[in-house]
Structure 1
Amino acid sequence: MNWALVGNNDGPLRILKSLGEPQNFPLLIGLQKPVSAGLQREYLKYIDKDHFFSGFEEDRLLQILENYKVNFIVNCFCNFRFIKLLEYYKVLNIHLSALPKYRGRHPLHWALINGEDKIGITIHEMTPGFDEGPICWQEMIKAEDKISVASARENLLTVLENNFSDFLINFKKAEIKNIKNLNEEATYIKRRIPADSRLVEWKNRDLVYRKVWALSSERNPAYIMINNKKIIVREAEKIALTGKFKEGSIIYFRKDSLEVSCEENKGIILKLAEDILDLNRHQSYKL
């Protein structure tokens, strides 16, 4: 069975590294968005440049595929909606959650922020319903404390890399037993926007803590607003407090960190990306 591998960034590359023998390789590789010259060179270790494509949406990908006879497609992080493609091809999708939980965009971000004990990765068949297709393969791992999205992603892709070759062999032999992706057990999450990274959940210290660490690797890390100024937060540590303070009050600050009150007798130290020596130590601040 011939197949095509599409996706974004290094996702498809992790799959390629698992395949071993050249006869297992896809006929073509497509990246929705162009990558750096260095990353492209890594891809070209596995495929001739004439069969490597980048910069497309669904219509352009359909045109490219017309030149190949493929039986199925594996998608590893293309982020456009597959609609027309599903009329012509079976598509397997890599999703960074244990479906049916966390259907939608940015599932790993939300799972870490929400405090899931375990995080998962799933291969499922694409259907017109968003993340609703039958589950072909799934693994879960422990969600570590202080883990960032980037580190969690790396851990999950390592699991995928270690298992995909065997999965592909069994899939081609039609030996995969699908698992139902039950709608009644599904949870849905929204696509994250930069404003979602603002820290405002002071009545829940653990949530603030998880949010800071999860987003510490991201383009839009956690932040606070002081005097209409956005200040990036890099790290967080939990502390105990004595006395009564309003949630979200700054109770002490150093040049590059703040102690902030949360729920009763609980506080958090926020390590900042810049100095805040311009704050008035005799003024009360509320985040």
Structure 2
Amino acid sequence: MNISYGILSSGNLGLQCLKYLHLTQNINFVFTDKKSDGIISFCNDNNIPLFIGNPRGAKSSCFLSNFDTDVILSLNYLFIVEDDIISHANKYSINFHGSCLPKYRGRTPHVWAIINDEKETGITAHKLTEGCDEGDIIYQEKITIAQDITGAELLDIYNERYIIIIQKLINKIEKNTITFIPQDETKATFYGKRTPDDGQINWSWQKERIYNWIRAQAKPYPGAFTYCKNKKIVIHKIQYSDFGYNDSDPNGIVLQTESNIIIKTPNGAICLLDYDFASDEKIVKGEILV
């Protein structure tokens, strides 16, 4: 069956999906953002028609008029799209989202799931609409979140599972067995865009919250951070410590620096295992991180 596809994709996850689809399917065009250099280079190298930038406001109407497209797949795409793109597909317009919808609509759901100490997340293929991750569900699978997994490591699992789910979805499309299940709006949650500046640690949080906050953003992500003497410390990995302290000690105080740096939180101490300190100065006992 000769089905034509339009691909909306961003970032490395979108690139991996695009490479797979290019090998197996007929791709009419690709939409991406200005910062997705890998996708731009891949399309240029393989002569795939490419629209770069935000398509909202019918900016892509002239571009789309050159194509007759059966299915549009949105794979880690940066932008919310409008009906001129959605309705361009003759059969289906489908979005992939990295959560078990309707929970965790919005941006970087895998990071938010770790921050919130979720034990599982997932991937959902759903009908593409003008709303944010609101369309009827076509396929969904769950992914276990290990207690020590980082946000980047969870995204690596997504890289593998997205390809497998694309295969399953294409099989449904070719067999004409696509079905739609409406999302339960009473269970919907939404999380917004995160920036590196959002990563600051609040030392009044419980140690479990701090642990999840750090692993969710660990390298190669920009990292959770704090300040010592107005110098930034980016923390990538910690563990809980049974080091003693006085309840009257302020949260964020450095309890020890001899073998490892140990810091007080409201319900226990934590030990820094991997961090970057943007200073030649040493962190000393008694200093308070903010």
* Fold match by TM threshold 0.5: yes
What is the 5 A alignment of 1:141-160?
141-160=143-162
SS in 2 for 1:33: coil
Q: What is aligned with 2:281? A: 278
TM-score (normalised: structure 1): 0.85
On the 8 A contact 2:119/2:144 being kept in 1, the answer is yes
Correspondence for 2:26:
25
Summarize deviations over 1:75-107 as a string: whole Å, max 9, x none.
112212212423544421111111111011121
1:123 aligns with 2:120: no
* Percent of aligned positions that are identical: 21
Q: What residue ranges of structure 2 are gaps of 5+ in the alignment?
A: none
| Structural RMSD (CA) | 2.7
Distance in 2 (alpha carbons) for counterparts of 1:130 and 1:198: 27
Match of 1:237 among 236, 239, 253: 239
Change (3 A) 1:277 1:258: farther
| Letter paired with 2:276 | A
Find the partner of 1:260 among 245, 259, 263: 263
CA gap of 1:113–1:179, structure 2 versus 1, over 3 A, is: same
Change (3 A) 1:260 1:93: same
CA distance in 2, matches of 1:215, 1:121: 20
In 2, Cα distance between equivalents of 1:41 and 1:242:
55
Residue in structure 2 matched with residue 247 of structure 1 by the alignment: 251
Q: Is the 8 A contact 1:16 1:25 kept in 2?
A: no
1:55 aligns with 2:52: yes
> One-letter code of the match for 2:34?
K
- State the Cα deviation string for residues 197-243 of structure 1 (Å, max 9, x = none): 00104431111112212211354311001222222112211111323
Count of aligned pairs between the two proteins: 280
Structure 1's unaligned 5+ residue stretches are none
Q: Is the CA contact 1:122–1:137 (under 8 Å) kept in the aligned structure 2?
A: yes
Is the 1:17–1:161 contact (alpha carbons within 8 Å) kept by the matching residues of 2?
A: no
1:280–1:171 Cα change, 3 Å: closer
Q: CA deviation at 1:276?
A: 6.0
Which has the larger share of strand?
A: 2
> How has the CA–CA distance of structure 1 residues 163 and 219 changed in structure 2, closer, same or farther, with 3 Å as cutoff?
closer
Query: Separation in 1 of the partners of 2:289 and 2:28?
Result: 58
Aligned to 2:76: 77
Amino acid across the alignment from 2:50? F
Contact 2:245 2:255 (8 Å CA) reproduced: no
SS in 1 for 2:153: helix
Deviations 1:3-26 (A, max 9, x none): 21121123334334545964x332
Normalising to structure 2: TM-score of the pair? 0.85
Partner of 2:176: 174
Task: Tell me by how many angstroms 1:116 deviates.
Answer: 0.9
More displaced 10-residue stretch of structure 1: 266-275 or 133-142: 266-275
> Any residues of structure 2 matched to 1:2-41 within 5 Å, and which?
2-19=4-21, 22=24, 24-33=25-34, 35-36=36-37
8 A Cα contact 1:202 1:261, kept in partner: no
* Matching residue's letter, 1:242: G
